[in-house]
């Protein structure tokens, strides 16, 4: 059993690394979003200039930041939970909550999101959907694909969380440090 657990822990660390690197990379979009928003406002109100594609780029960046960054946020325990109860539990109790929550809530919801989004994204790809606005950004189909990417990344991070929790419950692992990465 310990060899099997060691093997899946190795995969879990790999999933952690994927989400850590993607999260760090995508986090730069928050700065870029601010800069582009300032540019849109200055161009609009100082120079009376505006481009739909530039305004839409803020929406694209925001969506990408949220969708790709969701698993990174989970990895760093940044999602909302009822900490009033959770923080009072022992490490073993927290491992049980994380394991049960991951298996009964996180993974089923992510798989459901992937399932129901598949046709939505596929139809967008079939049309190579672009902006509805003249002069808007093309590639809406790519943006919609991030829904599937989010579901997959959250499943991978959920598996990592479940493996760490199981390992801790079996007495073969340590609790992940907050902000582990």
What pLDDT sits at residue 175?
A: 52
HSE value, Cβ hemisphere, 13 Å, CA-based, for 71: 32
Is the pLDDT confidence value at 174 over 90?
Answer: no
Could you give the percent of the chain with pLDDT greater than 70? 93
Over residues 115-141, the mean pLDDT reads 96
Range with the poorest average pLDDT among 59-63, 69-73, 77-81, 176-180: 176-180
> Residue 60 in contact with residue 129, Cβ under 8 Å?
no
Over residues 46-68, the mean pLDDT reads 96
Over residues 110-130, the mean pLDDT reads 97
Over residues 148-169, the mean pLDDT reads 96
Measured CA to CA in angstroms, residue 54 lies from 25, 119, 137, 139 at distances of 21, 29, 8, 14
**Position of tokens 């509805």?**
132
Domain ranges of the chain: 2-169
Mean of per-residue pLDDT scores for the chain: 91
The rounded distance, in Å, linking the Cα atoms of 7 and 165 is 15
Is the pLDDT confidence value at 152 over 50?
Answer: yes
**Position of tokens 């310990």?**
2
Q: Which residue has the higher pLDDT, 81 or 50?
A: 50
What pLDDT sits at residue 181?
A: 44
Is the pLDDT confidence value at 177 over 60?
Answer: no
What pLDDT sits at residue 172?
A: 67
> Residue 160 in contact with residue 16, Cβ under 8 Å?
yes
What pLDDT sits at residue 78?
A: 84
Is the pLDDT confidence value at 136 over 50?
Answer: yes
């Amino acid at each position: 059993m310990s060899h099997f657990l060691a093997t899946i822990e190795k995969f879990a660390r790999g999933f952690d690394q994927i989400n850590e690197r993607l999260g760090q990379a995508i986090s730069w979009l928050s700065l870029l979003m601010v800069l582009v928003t300032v540019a849109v406002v200055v161009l609009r109100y100082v120079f009376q200039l505006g481009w739909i594609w530039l305004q839409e780029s803020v929406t694209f960046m925001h969506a990408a930041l949220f969708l790709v960054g969701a698993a990174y946020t989970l990895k760093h325990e940044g999602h909302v939970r009822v900490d009033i109860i959770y923080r009072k539990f022992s490490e073993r109790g927290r491992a049980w909550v994380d394991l049960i929550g991951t298996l009964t809530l996180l993974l089923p919801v992510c798989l459901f999101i992937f399932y129901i989004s598949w046709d939505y994204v596929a139809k967008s790809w079939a049309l190579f959907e672009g902006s509805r606005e003249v002069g808007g950004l093309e590639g809406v189909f790519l943006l919609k694909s991030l829904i599937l990417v989010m579901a997959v990344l959250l499943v991978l991070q959920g598996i990592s969380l479940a493996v760490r929790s199981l390992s801790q419950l079996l007495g073969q692992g340590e609790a992940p440090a907050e902000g582990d990465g």
